[in-house]
Amino acid sequence: MSAPLLNCDMGESFGNWRLGLDDQAMPYVDCANIACGFHASDPDVMRRTVILARDNGVRIGAHPGYPDLAGFGRRSMACSPEEVENLMLYQIGALEAMCRAEGTRVSYVKPHGALYNDMAGNHDLLRAAMRAVARYDRSLPLLVMSTADPAPARALAEEMGVTLWFETFADRAYDARGHLVSRRQPGAVHHDREVIVAQAVALAKGEPLTASDGSELRLPADTLCVHGDNAESVAAVQAIRDAFRQLVDA
């Protein structure tokens, strides 16, 4: 069997402010979601991260967000669909410039933070994101949140001629609809490595998860988001990679 691609948010440092253990996590992931300057990163960080991904044979994805450096892109903004389309195009193009300078390219797009969450609940914003990808390069997959009912997103993607990768999370709790439990709620984030790896393996095998209300939840999983912002999370990424190798070899 094939396992979901492991993707990780990268390049989120800014100036003298450092975030993430990118150099430690990069060898274990398939895809690097590189911040494009709106919610985090700067030109120097972007280029360094592109080089790190290229040298490790990791696919590079644009990680565009709302223009919210102070809030790390985690605050919703009253952007129109046209503004969302344009801010995504702007950021994808900025990262593409760094990629071209280093002999590589942007391979997919994953919106960040509040923009990503807003797209999941707002059909017009989701359409705008798809339109941005289609007008930039229709061959690029767009990462969207996997839910219990992926049919509406699939139908819109077919209409727009865009490829979707449904994304899941190993370290987050889900509600019965397949939405992430708010970080404000207790138990929303898993910290135990064994729990994280077990959820990753269940998603890879298509097995049901237990939602926050106790019900069974099945989610399509083309790609799995992992984190590399501390030593424990990097260890979890390594453990997930090892578990996935065993699945593929089985």
The two counts, helices (H) then strands (E), for the chain are 8, 9
Contacts of 162 (CB under 8 A, 6+ apart): 130, 133, 134, 138, 142
**Cα(236)–Cα(18) distance, rounded to whole angstroms?**
21
Q: How is residue 230 written in tokens?
A: 């501390």
State the chain's mean pLDDT as an integer: 95
Long-range own/partner contacts, residues 213-219 (CB < 8 A, 24 or more apart): 213/175, 213/176, 215/176, 217/148, 217/174, 217/176, 217/178, 218/148, 219/146, 219/147, 219/148, 219/166, 219/168, 219/174, 219/178
Bridge-based pairing of strands 223-226 and 216-217 is: unpaired
* Amino acid making up residue 65: G
pLDDT at position 51: 98
Q: Whole-angstrom Cα distance, residue 208 to residue 219? A: 8
DSSP symbol at 20: -
| Across 15-39, average pLDDT | 96
* Three-class DSSP category at 113: helix
Q: Are 113 and 70 in contact (CB under 8 A)?
A: no
pLDDT, one tens digit per residue, over 133-187 is 999 999 999 999 999 999 999 999 999 999 999 999 999 999 999 999 988 899 9
pTM, two decimals, is 0.95
pLDDT at 231 over 70: yes
pLDDT confidence of residue 250: 65
Span 206-215, mean pLDDT? 95
Q: Which of 92-101, 151-160, 183-192, 205-214 has the lowest mean pLDDT?
A: 183-192
Domains of the chain with bracketed CATH: 5-249 (3.20.20.370)
d(CA 54, CA 82): 32
Q: Give the separation between CA 60 and CA 114, rounded to whole angstroms.
A: 21
**Is residue 235 very low, low, confident or very high in pLDDT (cuts 50, 70, 90)?**
very high
Backbone φ, ψ for residue 45 (5° rounding): -65, -40
Is the pLDDT assigned to residue 14 strictly greater than 70? yes
Give the residue-averaged pLDDT of 90-100: 98
- pLDDT reading at 1 higher than 70: no
Distance CA(15)–CA(28), nearest Å, equals: 26
What pLDDT shows up at residue 103?
98
Residue 84 — pLDDT band, cuts 50, 70, 90? very high
